[in-house]
Amino acid sequence: MDVFLQSLISGILLGGVYALIGTGLTLIFGVMRVINFAHGDIQMVGMYLTYLLFVHAGIDPFVSVLITFPLMFLFGGLIQKVFINRVLDALPQNQILLTIGLGLIMSNTAMLIFTSDYKILTTSYSSGSVKLGGISISQPMTISFLITVAVTAALWWFLKKTDTGQAIRATAQDRDAAQLMGINVKRMSIIAFGLGSSLVATAGALIAPTYYIYPQVGAAFTLKAFVITVLGGMGSIVGAALGGIIIGISESMGAAYIGAGWKDVVVFALFLLVLLLKPSGLMGKSNA
Amino acid sequence: MKRTLVTMALALGLSGTAWSQALKIGVINSMSGPEAPIGENLTNGIKLAEEDLKKKGILLQIVWEDDTGKPQIAMSAMEKLATRDGVAGIVGPYTSACANAVSKLAERYKTPLLVPAAAKEEITRQGLKYVFRMNAPADVYAAVLVDAATGLGKPKTIAFMYENTDFGTSTTKTAKEYVAKKGIQVVADEPYPKGAQDYRSTLSVIKSKNPDLVFLVSYVADAILIMRQSKEVGLKPQAFLGGGAGYTTAQFATEKAVSNFVFSCTQWTDDVSWPGAKDFGKRYKAKFGKEPTYHAACAYESMMVMADCAQKAKGDKEQTQAALRAGKWNGIMGDVKFEDYNGFTNQNNHQMLVQQLFDGNYETVFPAKFATRKPTYPFPGWK
Amino acid sequence: MTFSPSTRTGLSAGAALLLLAALAIVPRFVQSPYALHVLILIFLSTIMGQAWNILGGYTGQYSVGHAAYFGVGAYVTVSLMLHRQIAPWVGMWAGAAAVVVVALVIGSICFRLRGPYFVLASIAVTEIMRLVATNLKDLTNGAEGILATEIPPLKFGATVITDFGSKVPFYYIGLGLAVLTILVTWAVTHSKLGYCFQAIREDQDAAHSLGINPTLYKNIALAISAVLTSFAGAFYAIYVGFVDPPTVLGLDLSVQIVLICIIGGIGTIQGPMVGACILVPLSEILRSNAVPELLMKWGWMNGESGIGLFLKENLAHAHVLIYGILVVLVILYMPEGLVGFLRRVTRGRRAA
């Protein structure tokens, strides 16, 4: 029973961060229909930023989100404007390769600057935990989960209640119609990519105290982000949040009951099942 | 197409001509790609060797080749070094997969290859005359740790948790064979994909089996994560045994809250009584701003030995091979001699050490003749 | 100059034969094993790129999971050779048969999806295969990989080739497979099959209304493409002598396969060849630090000067970075690949 509860709790806490990564990707895909293979690398940039702020300015990773978020918004917006914008109408494989190329540039630039050493942030609470019966609840992961919930709620509010948010949603629904309605589609794309980058970088900052940083850290997260996004339904914020939690739980249950080596198989199999049975994702519209 | 070929042949030929009188030695290492974090330690070790050799009056021209961690690229590098650059010998590659792939080529081109730190046993088990290895292979990792544990207590059960890479699985495979001989029962066998964020569920499964020993094989980042999470879930065996790699790094040691009392085996430490080990540690730290790993020491000593032989042989490959086989050295890795035993060929029968962490400091605890401190056993529990 | 289509076909066939003849005698003049090795890698890349081209280029199904077929081909061939003493040139057909089964299973999953979903599904299936290969230790020896040591002698009528340490047999096998792949592609594209493929690429729904069964033809294209890819895998396994899950089933490899085709020119016979001839030497040159070496040799740069030292130290580390920059530049400025770019340029000149 302890094993089950422990896996459930860690799965949910882990899923919170996954949700944030997925939300970032779903926003980008929703608005631009571009599969962003550099997503994990953008997260990596955010992680190094967190690292620099922690080591050189002594800013706690959870606090530094306030700085990382806007900086990464600019970074993502710039990438969209300079690169992604030019391939919006290109063939999907060209879009993919472009983002792969951008990812290679990011990770290898990071390698030249920081070397390929693992950077580990040790905060006072890095291995802190609260005991609850036979199970333990990680302190830093609980905090990051709460921050995730807050960020997701804020994003949801932004998309529903503000003019810009509604314009982004309109663009995601139908790009051409949005343009006809006088929405500045180009600007919305830049904002969406910037926001997507901020979100995934925030996720990077949140896992920094319990994980580690190295130039290639993004690759694994990119794949995971796709799985989460498709699971929840491409373009759906609530879906991505739900998808993140589901993936977190299936990973940790898979590791406990089938074996850690098989947990990613569980995740990918789940992904394929959803693609086949409900291609629009859990929260997507069924006709997509 | 034809013109491309001609230009290519020209370009390949042009830079291949002899450059100077310096001794040419090739290095194949993972300088980029996923293996680069460890590869960098080897690069640094070799750079330090280059400096020291210069002081001794041996001028080296090192031809660096990056294998990016891929066997076929390592083969390219090997072909180039052996047939175009005309090196006297080669130090590298770092990973077992790459070292395996190039070993037959070394034999074919009669180019001495000194593998500094790859653990896979097969590398020196194919009877290849031109392939040498500095470090102790995978079977020793497990044997020395289990010997240390059985010497200290009476463990009856063991749990294995290891990264499902070549290094992790081959080390654990020999470890399982070894504990079977010692009558210790395996209660958990958990390979994990490296780079996961959450090991809590696997660790709580292990905890539920209540093993006497927990044997771990991981690289540094995962090592720290696993120990942090072991503390979280309250795993408390008689001893944590770290199979080399991540558990012997300075970065791991600095995580005092979780690394205290962990046993680990290593090819090298800077407090061992081997000549120059301490000094190497100091100079390495001064030059590169971090603690040397055993990979760095293995690579350093490999380059020193290779350069010594190549110089004696005046750059001739076959004579370098003969010098490697005949020679005997005593440097920062202790006694080095390439011997044939137990099915190995040209294998340095290196003595591995078991160390334990005390408040961020590694102390050698086994074998007794190198011990600097009495071990603490069983594990007294988490602070 | 203008040629009638038939003269042009004749001319390019003649040129192809000339090139083939030139390649066939290369080992007589080039002794350097390194140069031969680079050429062998070019052949290998050509096979992989061309095989992908049939599915990706002509049928418009952008699989980013071709490592699956490469890996199955490699594993089956090596396992049969080691455990059943079956020669690789027999084993590769067993590999091909296995790959057809795998391809049909993958096809039945992935072809229900379109566009980005198809791409993601192809990645997921291949990742599952990589993980399964890592975990099923009894079948694949897991992460430790399989080391192929002895290759049985190859009989060609009266001549028996036993010396597989030399590059020459591999050179000819590689050349032969590359030619085979190109011929298959040519034959396919000049048959009814090819027109059906291209009809599906241009507009799947329109093709369907013309009576072309998209699922059937997509599966045929996938099977052909997968079998050719499995040959590349078998060839790689025997040549390198080592297979493990990340190198033969990794996402890197799938991306590399697509890249060969995209850089060269998608949907053209020459594209994959051009891509291979660019990418292989380029990565060799960047990786082995040849650029600063040459600059120093020619006296344009001093090895001890600040810039020289910087380049010497960093360029070897930066080769993937340069690779990334090139990919980005090609996608932005030559989205139709080099072959397409050259065609556009020459056409532009002709028009002017």
Q: Are residues B118 and B52 in the same domain?
A: yes
Question: Is the same domain home to B218 and B364?
Answer: yes
The answer to whether the Cβ–Cβ distance between C335 and A261 falls below 8 Å is no
pLDDT of residue A132: 81
Task: Please tell me which residue of chain A has the smallest CA distance to C319.
Answer: A108
Cβ neighbours of A104 in C, within 8 Å: 320-321, 323-324, 327
Q: Is residue B382 a part of any domain in this protein?
A: no
Q: Are residues B228 and B335 in the same domain?
A: no
Query: B26: closest CA among A26, C289, A201, A244?
Result: C289
From CA A37, how far away is CA A104, in angstroms rounded?
Answer: 10
Residue with the larger pLDDT of the pair C349 and A147: A147
Q: Which of B214, B165, B218 is nearest to B186 (CA)?
A: B214
Q: Does C113 touch chain A (CB under 8 A)?
A: yes
Domain shared by B165 and B216, yes or no: yes
Pairing type for strands B23-29 and B60-66 reads: parallel
Q: What is the pLDDT of residues B316-334, one digit of tens each?
A: 999 999 999 999 999 999 9
Task: Flag whether A284 is in a domain.
Answer: no
Q: Kindly list the residues from chain B whose CB atom is less than 8 angstroms away from the CB atom of residue C131.
A: 193
Low-confidence ranges of chain B (pLDDT < 50): 1-20
Distance of CA C157 to the CA centre of its chain: 30
Q: Does B366 map to a domain?
A: yes
Same domain, B362 and B238: yes
Residue B382: CA atoms inside 13 Å, Cβ hemisphere, count?
16
Position A282 in a domain: no
Two structure tokens written together for A9: 């709790």
Same domain, B84 and B97: yes
Whether pLDDT at A155 is above 60 = yes
What is residue A59's predicted lDDT score, i.e. its pLDDT?
A: 94
Tell me which chain C residues have a C-beta less than 8 angstroms from the C-beta of A105.
321, 324-325, 328
pLDDT value at position C83?
A: 83
DSSP string, B97-143: HHHHHHHHHHHHTT--EEE-S---GGGGSS--TTEEE-S--HHHHHH
The string of pLDDT tens digits covering residues C236-247 is 998 888 888 988
- What is the domain range of residue B74? 2-136+274-348
What angle is formed at CA C253 by the lines to CA B64 and CA B30, rounded to 5 degrees?
20
Beta bridge partner(s), residue A137: A130
ipTM of this model?
Answer: 0.89
Q: What's the domain count of chain B?
A: 2
Is there a single domain that holds both residue B31 and residue B69?
Answer: yes
B197, B225, B258: best mutation site toward chain A, by most A Cβ within 10 Å? B197
Alpha helices, H only, chain B: 2-14, 36-55, 71-79, 96-108, 138-152, 166-181, 200-209, 220-233, 250-253, 256-259, 277-288, 294-312, 317-326
User: Which two tokens mark A140?
Assistant: 């830093």
What are the DSSP calls for C188-225, one per residue? HHTSHHHHHHHHHHH-HHHHHHTT--HHHHHHHHHHHH
Q: What is the DSSP string of A194-207?
A: HHHHHHHHHHHHHH
What distances in angstroms separate CA A91 from CA A171, A190, C336, one per listed residue? 20, 20, 10
A6 in a structural domain: yes
- Written as six digits, the tokens of B8 are 């290519």
Whether residue B55 is contained in a domain is answered as yes
CA distances from B307 to B122, B325, C207 (A): 25, 14, 68
Q: What is the CATH number for B299?
A: 3.40.50.2300
Residues B72 and B114 in one domain: yes
Q: Do residues B46 and B23 both lie within one domain? A: yes
Domain layout of chain C by residue ranges: 30-267
C318 in contact with chain A, both atoms CB, cutoff 8 A: yes
Chain mean pLDDT for chain C: 86
User: Who wins on pLDDT, C308 or B141?
Assistant: B141
Count the alpha carbons within 13 Å of C258 in the hemisphere toward its beta carbon. 27
If you average pLDDT over each of B20-34, C155-169, C307-321, which comes out highest?
Answer: B20-34
- What is the C-alpha end-to-end distance of chain B, expressed in Å? 69
Stretch (H or E) spanning A114: helix A92-114
Number of domains in chain A: 1
B378 lies in some domain: no
Global pTM exceeds 0.90:
no
- The residues with which B131 forms a beta bridge, in sequence order, are B113
Q: What is the pLDDT of residue B321?
A: 96
Question: What CATH number should be reported for the domain holding residue A39?
Answer: 1.10.3470
- Where in the sequence is the domain holding A90, given as residue range(s)? 2-277
Tell whether B380 is covered by a domain. Answer: no
- Give me the amino acid identity at C44: L
Looking at the complex, does the CB of residue A250 fall below 8 Å from at least one CB of chain B?
no
User: Are the beta carbons of C64 and C255 closer than 8 angstroms?
Assistant: yes
Q: Is B375 part of any domain?
A: no
User: Which residues of chain B does A212 touch, with a Cβ-Cβ cutoff of 8 Å?
Assistant: 221, 224-225
User: Over pLDDT 90: what percentage of chain A?
Assistant: 62
